[in-house]
Amino acid sequence: LCFSSCSPKGFPKLKNDTFLRAARGEETEHTPVWCMRQAGRYLPEFRETRAAQDFFATCRSPKLCCELTLQPLRRFPLDAAIIFSDILVVPQVRAVAGGWERGWVWDCYSILSRSQALGMEVVMVPGKGPTFPEPLKEVEDLLKLRQKVDVTAELGYVFQAITLTRHSLEGKVPLIGFSGAPWTLMSYMIEGGGSTTMSKAKSWLYRHPEASHQLLRLLADVVTDYLVGQVAAGAQALQLFESHAGHLGPEQFQEFALPYIRDIARGVKSKLKAEALPLVPMIVFAKDAHYALGDLAQAGYEVVGLDWTIRPQEARAQTGKNITLQGNLDPCALYAPKEKIGELVKKMLEGFGTQRYIANLGHGLYPDMNPEHVGAFVEAVHAHSRHINKH
């Protein structure tokens, strides 16, 4: 498709709405399935596409983001696409002619990317991941961050990628947009990268609770506007990733994560209504937050995502009958023989039931996974759920 001819209007009619119906709690003929990180390095065509330029340049190209989003749909009968991007939505230092311009943008990991943070810089270090050379250390560092963000101006190329992809899907399946959640973003900004303990970020919660809330509120406001912008651009569902929820205990989660998760759902729905935009289903995925499933089910999201460390029956008991669940096969199960994958999928479906349920992994696909095994997972979900529904 010609990029310049695409606009967030006149999208092709949706042919497969199974994912959206399941998200809304409506009856489906089969259980829909998609995979977190379904566009990624496990696909040889992904590696080939990415070989031409670094990751940072790829993420800034709507055409390449569209291509990478579509690649798994060409291989597998998935029931949803998710826009190619990265889990982090953070303030960024972005390259422009004549120097560096500070602003918020949606970015992907890149070997040479200077990105992420309101006036902060992050680089992708091989073998280590995203690294902030100068992370937030003290409360005074918050003064360096921009307080006003125009997401339309700063995130335009992401919105363009969503619009282009929505047209290019030709109505085959719905398109999901997503964002990182405030606590997860805050933890990266303070830790300076990944961490097994998140001790630096958590220390802020104990030492500087007021400043922590100030930062979390800023992040929540930008994430809300960013998600609304994705819907305006054509996203048909949204997922919020609280990937570092497991580093918090119940009390800290209640104070520093859950309120902002709730506010984002409330704010997105309010702004969508005010702007006469579609009220799309929203998914919250708080990894390792078993203690909070009941609260998450009441947080304003139609779908609650699950990691692989909780039994389906326990999740149902905590969330009730009016929430759609998503998950939760252990990603490493895809290393098993195809026959075993089918057995595990069947057991998972029997545990969750085939209605008010979206099949997925309990986390993302890994780079060394065999695409044929991903296909076996998708096909097993469809086959077994159809069989269960008939009998």
Residue 188 is among the residues annotated as catalytic for this protein: yes
Reading across the β-sheet that carries 237-242, which strands appear in turn? Answer: 81-82, 175-180, 237-242, 282-286, 303-305, 324-329, 357-361
End-to-end CA distance of the chain: 43
169 neighbors 12 (Cβ within 8 angstroms): yes
Residue type, 44: P
Q: Which of 17, 60, 79, 86 is catalytic?
A: 86
Residue 94 is among the residues annotated as catalytic for this protein: no
CA 273, CA 221: separation in Å to the nearest integer? 17
Within 13 Å, how many C-alpha atoms sit on residue 323's CB side? 24
Q: Which of 50, 146, 217, 386 is catalytic?
A: 50
Helix (H) or strand (E) run with residue 95 in it:
strand 89-96
The DSSP string of 359-384 is EEESSPPPTT--HHHHHHHHHHHHHH
In angstroms, the Cα distances linking 145 to 90, 122, 194, 322 are 11, 14, 21, 40
Q: Which of 60, 107, 114, 188 is catalytic?
A: 188
Residue of 327, 218, 319, 197 lying closest to 263 (CA atoms): 218
In this structure, what DSSP letter does residue 276 have? T
Residue 146 is among the residues annotated as catalytic for this protein: no
Residue 41 is among the residues annotated as catalytic for this protein: yes
Residue type, 223: V
Q: Which of 37, 114, 166, 356 is catalytic?
A: 37
What amino acid positions are annotated as catalytic residues? 37, 41, 50, 86, 188
